[in-house]
Amino acid sequence: MNSQTRGVVEFRTAGGTGARYHLELYFVCGDLPDLAAGVYHYATDDHSLRQLRGGDLRGAVVEASGNAPRLAQAPVILAMTSTFWRNAWRYKARAYRHTYWDTGTSLANLLAVAASLELPTELVLGYADAGINALLGVDGESEATVALCALGSGGSAPPVPASISSIAHPIAPVSSAEVIFDDIPRMHAASSLASGSEAAAWRQNPLVRTPKPSARPPIRLTPLPDANLPSAPIEDIILARRSTRNYDTQTPISFEAFSTLLDRSVRGFAADCLVPGAPPLHDGYLIVNAVEGLEPGLYLHRASEVAIELIRSGDFRAQAAHLAFDQQYAADAHVNSYYLTDLAPVLEHYGNRGYRLAQVEAALYAGRLHLAAHALGLGAVGSTSFDDEVTDFFSPPAAGASFMFVTVFGGRRRRTHGDAG
């Protein structure tokens, strides 16, 4: 490519399945010192906010959420949507899974930035889908709200919502034609909530699970003390983050780095439907290929004990590559971090919407792990896997659990001329 044809390629700051970037951001705010109250869309192409509605309409979101307490105090509410076709044209119905993988991955960035600004947040997954979609002016089928997040606290109480008129923004078509993969609208409708009162009832009975007791003696992790953690601003880490597929297979990563990544990425997050401090819905399973002082093998992460437990020792690089959809980087990486969730109790407590929650939760933890890897000078990449084979591979302890997400990480190999990617 010569300099005349060279153009700018825009990337998003968060990774996403196949770089299909199907997520959009909207903000609903009261009057802010430098922004008038309204509903705004964030346009990634020119980094601007466009007002879709004027006035303080946060009350409409609060109502649709069944009065989620933190939303009512938030000066700004973020709404994330997915335009399914932008992923589905490549991945067909599996795009529905990617929807929540990518949502969680992006939310990891958002929560990390908010934390560095000391801005309280709460993820809200309980809301009347149609009510929020109507407020944003999206149709709920081709583009639908997938998550809300309260940003900040101490905002003035939002006014009681007036009736919401319909709006329709002109949207540039993504392609000349669109295929509807029926499973996507079906799954989305089956996990939708109809009203604020349904949303309030939905979060009434959160799951507090008891992780299985240890079967083997724990191996204590030794995370770096706070004083030794890298001090780079989160914005720099986010901008430097990318997906790493080349790993230095000759040099193991240190046990301290491994410990720090595991320990730091499992700190919980506030959500309307989760009990603060409760164990996550998933269990963390690890394929350890090359960590200093650690036998290669399969391990279970005992987050609350800041420990891991050996399941099976051995060299599982070949199996790691196969499980990760026959992609070599999983064999080369130092660690593969799998997130598996026993969906039966999740669905019992949360109904079909528990599926959205389980995917987002695991993806958010994994997104954090990815950022933390970069903070420590390592690399990581999310991956597709052969779902059911993952459960078999980590069984017996994983029997009955379902694959939610995997991120592999390790020391980066310097790219040499001729590397593919």
Query: Interface with ligand FMN by CB under 6 A: which residues?
Result: 11, 15-19, 101-102, 105, 242-243, 245, 325, 327, 381-384
Query: Please, which residue, 15 or 252, has the CB nearer to ligand FMN?
Result: 15
| In the complex, least distance from residue 127 CB atom to ligand FMN, rounded to whole angstroms | 24
Could you please report the per-residue DSSP string of 279-309?
PPSEEEEEEESSBTTS-SEEEEEEGGGTEEE
Closest CB to ligand FMN among 103 and 259?
103
DSSP 18: G
CB 82 within 8 A of CB 103: yes
Instruction: Give least dist CB 412 to ligand FMN, A.
Output: 12
Give the separation between CA 307 and CA 214, rounded to whole angstroms: 10
Contact 334, 377 (CB under 8 A): no
Complex with ligand FMN: residue 133 or 336, whichever CB lies closer? 336
Nearest approach in angstroms of CB 287 to ligand FMN is 15
Under 8 Å between Cβ of 389 and 402: no
Cβ at position 201, least distance to ligand FMN in Å: 31
Q: Which is nearer to ligand FMN, 127 or 405 (CB)?
A: 405
Q: Which C-beta is closer to ligand FMN: that of 209 or that of 242? A: 242
In the complex with ligand FMN, the residue whose CB is nearer, 106 or 145, is 106
Buried b (16+ CB within 10 A) or exposed e, 153-162: eebeebeebe
Of 61 and 331, which CB lies nearer to ligand FMN in the complex structure? 331
- Least CB distance from residue 101 to ligand FMN, whole Å? 4
CA dihedral 369, 373, 375, 376 (to 10 degrees): 130
Which residue's CB comes closest to ligand FMN? 15
Roughly what angle, to the nearest 10 degrees, separates helices 95-116 and 183-190?
50
> Distance (Å, rounded) from C-alpha 85 to C-alpha 178?
7
DSSP output for 314-371: S--HHHHHHHTTS-THHHHSSEEEEEEE-HHHHHHHHTTHHHHHHHHHHHHHHHHHHH
Q: Is the Cβ of residue 105 or residue 133 nearer to ligand FMN in the bound state?
A: 105
Minimum CB distance to ligand FMN smaller for 22 or for 70: 22
- Residue 180 has phi, psi (to 5 degrees) of -95, 120
Give min distance, CB of 319 to ligand FMN, in A: 16
Closest approach, Cβ 354 to ligand FMN, in A, equals 19
Minimum separation from the CB atom of position 75 to ligand FMN (A): 30
Residue 18 beta carbon to ligand FMN: minimum distance, rounded to whole angstroms: 6
Taking the complex as a whole, how short is the minimal distance between the CB of residue 421 and ligand FMN, in angstroms? 8
Tell me how far apart the alpha carbons of residues 419 and 245 are, in angstroms, rounded to a whole number: 10
CB atoms within 10 A of CB 228: 10
Q: Which is nearer to ligand FMN, 19 or 171 (CB)?
A: 19
Three-class secondary structure of residue 2 per DSSP: coil
Of 137, 131, 197, residue with least CA distance to 170: 137
CA distances from 125 to 156, 241, 252, 344, 356 (A): 23, 27, 39, 19, 8
